[in-house]
Amino acid sequence: MKDLRRYLALKYIQYLVLSSSNAVSTLLGLLGSAYTMILLHSAKVSSKSTTVFISSLAQADILVFLSLVSDVVLGSFAAGISPTASALARILLMANAHLSCVLLSCVALEAYLITFLPSESRPHRTVRKARLICRVIWALVAAECVLLLMDERLRASGGSALGLLLQLCSTAAALLRSLSYVLGILLRIINVYIYYKIFFSMSPR
C-alpha cells in the first residue's frame, strides 16, 4: 500500500539518512508509527513477512514514547533520580534507533530477494520466520539495553568492591558502542546498495 511505502520512506530518512533525529522527525515518526499500527489492523492489509517487519518497526517507536515519559516524569522528582532518568531515556532512544535500522535493513533485504530471487527465496520469506527474526532482534537489543544500563548504574554507584565488575561492564559497554557505530555505518551502505540495485533493475533500459 502507498501509505506503508510512505511510512518506510519516512523511517529511512529518519534513521538511515539523517545524522541524528530531531524534534520534527521524531514527532513525524511517532505519528506515522501510530497511524501504521492502526492501518496494519485493517482487513485491506494482508499478512506477509514484510508487514511483520513493518509492524515491529512501528512498535519500536513505543520506546521513544517511554523515553519521553521517563525523561519528563522521573526527571521531575529529586535530583538523585534525574541522572537515572536521563540515562534511561538516552538508552531507550538508542534502542529504538538500533531496532529501526536493523528492521529497515530486513525490509530492504526482503525487497532485494523479491526482486532478484523471487522463487528461490519464497520458502524463506514466511510470516513465521519473519516473526522469529523480529523476536531475536528485540532480544538482542534488550540485552544491549540491560548491559548499558548496568554500566550507567555501576558508574553512578562506584565502590571498590565493584571494581572488577565495573571494569568488565565498562569494557563490554565500550566494545558494544563501537560495534553499534560500525554496524550502523555498514547498514547504511548495504541499504544504499540494495536500493541502488533495485532501482536500476526496474528502470527502463
Q: What 8-state DSSP symbol labels residue 16?
A: I
In the Cβ-directed half-sphere of 144, how many Cα atoms lie within 13 Å? 23
Q: Which residue has the cell 509492524?
A: 55
Residue 27 neighbours by CB distance under 10 Å? 12
Phi-psi region of 200 (alpha: psi -120 to 50; beta: other; left: phi over 0): alpha
Would you call 92 exposed, middle or buried from its count of C-beta atoms within 10 A (0-12, 13-18, 19+)? buried
Instruction: Decide if 91 contacts 145 (C-beta within 8 A).
Output: yes
Q: What contacts 150, CB < 8 A, 6 or more positions away?
A: 169
- Whether residue 158 is predicted with pLDDT greater than 80 in this model: the reply is no
- pTM to 2 decimal places: 0.88
Which amino acid is it at 71? D
Average pLDDT, the chain: 85
Instruction: Decide if 103 contacts 57 (C-beta within 8 A).
Output: yes
Spell out where 32-78 has E strands. Answer: none
Q: What contacts 47, CB < 8 A, 6 or more positions away?
A: 127
The pLDDT tens digits of the residues spanning 19-62 come to 777 788 888 999 999 999 999 988 778 889 999 999 999 999 99
- Whether residue 191 is predicted with pLDDT greater than 80 in this model: the reply is yes
Among the listed residues 52, 44, 93, the one whose alpha carbon sits nearest the alpha carbon of residue 71: 93
